[in-house]
Amino acid sequence: MLQPRKVELLLVEDNPADVRLFQEACGENGHLYNLHTVPDGVLALRFLHRVGEFSLSPRPDLILLDLNLPRMNGHEVLEIVKADPFLRTIPVIILSTSRSPEDIRKSYELQAACYIRKPESFDEFQRICSNIQKFWMKRATLPGPIDSEVWARNNLDLIR
């Protein structure tokens, strides 16, 4: 029987403790995905466009994006991703401590797939990770990879 392809998951999070918490909370089901992490919005876009040190990075199937990031905030990253024809089909889940109605509204206006408030307890974080995995990695059909030549051409145009 053919094994399903692992989901390529990009976590954009500047807090190392939150990255570690995510890894620990989701660790039991780590066989479902390959986790890639970057600590800010600028590096997220370099990863997504496969620039420099990220030239061999896979195209993520799913992005978990914090809003409060250094150099470029999550809303700015989300706006750029959703404006790019080669990235816009990637579901982006906002995972933020912000409870601001404005942040929530703006995230959905910019086409976030959903907005999840970061939980305060490890058990709650595990439940959220489990729900993300159950829905996005087991139930939902993700867009999947695109032709590598088309991807490479698009990224060369961006670098020029």
CATH of the domain at 46: 3.40.50.2300
Host domain of residue 127: 7-159
Identify the residue with better confidence: 152 or 127. Answer: 127
Decide if pLDDT at 9 tops 70.
Answer: yes
Percent of the chain with pLDDT over 70: 86
pTM, two decimal places? 0.87
* Triad 66, 150, 7: Cα angle to 5°: 45
Say how far residue 54 (Cα) sits from the centre of its chain.
Answer: 15
Assigned domain for 2 exists: no
| Other beta carbons within 10 Å of 134 | 13
In this prediction, residue 25 has a pLDDT band, given cuts at 50, 70 and 90, of confident
Assigned domain for 68 exists: yes
Structure tokens at 90: 């990637």
Are 63 and 35 in contact by the 8 Å Cβ rule? The answer is no
Torsion of CA 59, 43, 113, 6, to 10 degrees: 30
Assigned domain for 140 exists: yes
Assigned domain for 108 exists: yes
pLDDT on residue 24 = 87
Assigned domain for 1 exists: no
Q: How many domains does the chain have?
A: 1
